[in-house]
A and B are shown apart, each in its own frame.
Chain A
């Protein structure tokens, strides 16, 4: 084969591969929409399950939607409270250049890769040890651990991009390290921080394996942090597991709801980060 036809062949292969990859996104979305849309109704997203729901009777998955939002927001806030300071301390101005920072990053990477089922198992052990039962709080804590490495590493990446002369400008005006960090670095990195937060929110709301044993499942809306709580991913999983086609159809509809939330978040993060760009120095 001469070199030009080889080039043609591989270029065609590459385009075909890219078409498969991008096509798979559209196929996934299309399959979920096609199967989920017919079963989706207003009552599905505004009602909690009534008696016999899992046999195909009346009701909806409001418990799961609300539960997932509680879990995702709760863990988001907790994770943000730890991640932002942690990411900021990995700046060059703090410990960023030290050996310790290298190991911290490394262990965060391991944490990132750890499967969510392992977190679920870990969370379960800890809750047994503390005598807790599956609850909103348990789910929030496990999801927090799941989100920490994602948030810290993605925030660190954007914080690293803050130009050194901006920090210098602040220092020359007599600002301390913390003032510079809180008033200038955070502000300049804000669009990236927002994107990172939203992405990890998406990961939190979509994860099922970690909350399988830690958050539990219930048909009612949670009243306190110590009540078990339903979640969308598990609602999908359980409904799909029933032998009734009507209930399975609701699982598809629930999957569509989850997909819409996640895609909306992803698109919102792009729009939002543009908004926060206003004051940014480029």
Chain B
């Protein structure tokens, strides 16, 4: 009898230790990155690093601006494609689709989520890049901001990265916002429908409004997936250090910077520190966006369960 109690207590401790260990990893990763990026922060100001646009590691000039801009612009473009398509899909699945359609489509969306980034990259190289190269000349000298100057485009571009990333975040935004729509209490719909609203009016005015914080959380989580994506983006954006003037230009996001230069970073002073700072910046972006999204989702859950 005593042995069983002992085993119970021991197992409990062990399980707790596993949980604590897993959660402490976040801090270990963040601290390790910070310690290794400290050398460069000691000799350069943060403003100089973040806003400088020259990247000449051999001369100890590290300006992250083009890379940060590259990350932001590719991610933003991906979100422009992904948000409306995902949310409209989620609304349809949650509010209109019958069980049969859902039982087919939801597993397919899960499948899409399971495809490895590098496969998306190959897909991008094979299909998206040629497509972009094909349509770019149509916009040559069109005068539309960000669409100009696609005359000699290779297709390895912001646009290709945006399209590939958008496909990769569809499943995330759809599955979370689908759950959020499902969680909207029926009374909300009932109240609106009983006032004579059509189904779409009900969705537009009552359901989406109630679900808005949850949709925001879904978008944030999709965004954090997009901003951290490495391989797929690396393979289709061209990796040229310059500030893109149109979506047909090449660009060079932070993740690609780390991945491409890791091999040689130990040979140049401060280079490793600079790359790890890039990793730290990415991690901090993820930290804040995850915290934001979770706080919203937790609040929704609380509201639902009283």
Decide if A and B are genuine partners: yes
Chain A interface mostly helix, strand, loop or mixed? Answer: helix
How many pairs of residues, A versus B, come closer than 8 Å at their CB atoms? 270
Chain A hits for B25, CB < 8 A = 107, 111, 145, 148
Q: Is B115 located at the chain interface by the 8 A CB criterion?
A: yes
For B258, give its contact among A110, A114, A117 (CB under 8 Å): A117
B100 CB to closest chain A CB (Å) equals: 14
B80 within 8 Å of A (CB atoms): no
Which residues between 214 and 230 of chain B lie within 8 Å of chain A, taking CB atoms?
Answer: 221, 224-225, 227-230
CB distance from A139 to the nearest CB of B (A): 14
Contacts of A109 in B (CB 8 A): 290, 294
Does any Cβ of B come within 8 Å of A271's Cβ?
no
Q: Which B residues lie within 8 Å of A237 (CB)?
A: 118, 121, 231, 235
Q: Is the CB of A110 within 8 A of B118?
A: no
Binary CB contact string for chain B from 283 to 295 against chain A (1 if under 8 A, 0 otherwise): 1001101110010
Most A C-beta atoms less than 10 A away, residue of B122, B167, B170: B122
Residues on B with beta carbons closer than 8 Å to the beta carbon of A173: none
A116 on the interface (CB 8 Å rule)?
yes
Q: How far is the CB of A263 from chain B (nearest CB, A)?
A: 6
> How many residues on B have C-beta within 8 angstroms of the other chain's C-beta atoms?
85
Mostly, the B contact residues are helix
State whether the Cβ of B112 lies closer than 8 Å to any Cβ in chain A.
Answer: yes
How far apart sit A120 and B117, CA to CA, in the bound complex (Å)? 15
Bound Cα distance from A271 to B169, whole angstroms: 26
A70 at the A/B interface (Cβ < 8 Å)?
no
Interface positions of B from 1 to 49, Cβ below 8 Å from A: 4-5, 7-8, 11-12, 14-16, 18-27, 29, 32-33, 36
In B173-227, the 8 Å CB interface with A consists of 174, 198-201, 204, 221, 224-225, 227
Given contacts A3-B198, A206-B118, contact A110 B105 (CB under 8 A): no
Min C-beta distance of B235 to chain A, whole Å: 7
Contact B23 A103 (CB under 8 A): yes
- Asked if B92 is at the interface of the complex by the 8 Å CB criterion, the answer is yes
Which among B22, B110, B235, B255 is the interface contact of A266 at CB below 8 angstroms? B110
A83-B22, A122-B279 known; A22+B123 contact, CB < 8 A: no
Residues of A within 8 A of B5 (CB): 176
A108 touches B259 (CB 8 A): no
Given the complex, which residues of B lie within 8 Å of A213, measured CB to CB? 262-263
What 1/0 mask marks residues of chain A from 60 to 93 whose CB sits below 8 Å from any chain B CB?
Answer: 0000000000000000000000110111111000
> B residues within 8 A CB of A3?
198, 200-201
Interface size bracket, A side: 35 or more
- Within the complex, the shortest CB–CB distance from A228 to chain B, in Å, comes to 13
- Stretch in contact with the other chain, from B81-89, B140-148, B152-160, B243-251: B81-89
Cross-chain contact of A126 among B32, B167, B289 (Cβ < 8 A): B32
Q: Which residue of A lies closest to B29 (CB)?
A: A122
Question: Contacting A24 at CB < 8 Å: which of B121, B167, B286?
Answer: B167
Complex contact A122–B228 (CB within 8 A): no
Question: B29 touching A119 by the CB < 8 A rule?
Answer: yes
Bound CA span A181–B14, Å: 13
Contact A262 B19 (CB under 8 A): no
Contact with B along A1-37 (1 / 0, CB 8 A): 0011011001101111110111011011001100100
CA distance A124 to B200 in the complex (A): 52
Mask for A110-132, Cβ within 8 A of B = 1, else 0? Answer: 11111111111110111000000
> Do residues B259 and A117 form an inter-chain contact, with CB atoms below 8 A?
yes
Within 8 Å of chain B (Cβ to Cβ): is A54?
Answer: no
Determine whether the beta carbon of B127 is less than 8 Å from that of A27: yes
Which of the residues A6, A117, A176, A202 comes within 8 Å of B114, measured between beta carbons?
A: A202
B21's nearest neighbour on chain A, judged by CB, is A82
Say whether A7 contacts B15, CB under 8 Å. no
Q: Are B22 and A207 in contact (CB under 8 A)?
A: no
Residues 75-131 of B contacting A (Cβ, < 8 Å): 84-86, 88-89, 91-93, 96, 105, 107-112, 114-123, 125-127
A39 to nearest B CB, angstroms?
A: 12
When chains A and B are docked, how far (Å) is the Cα of A94 from the Cα of B289?
A: 29
Q: How far is the CA of A264 from the CA of B283 in the complex (A)?
A: 32
A85-B19, A110-B286, A259-B115 provided; 10 other pairs, C-beta below 8 A? A14-B88, A14-B91, A82-B18, A85-B11, A110-B287, A113-B221, A113-B224, A115-B286, A148-B22, A208-B118
A selection of 8 A-B contacts at a CB cut-off of 8 Å is A28-B119, A85-B15, A114-B228, A117-B279, A118-B283, A145-B25, A236-B122, A263-B114
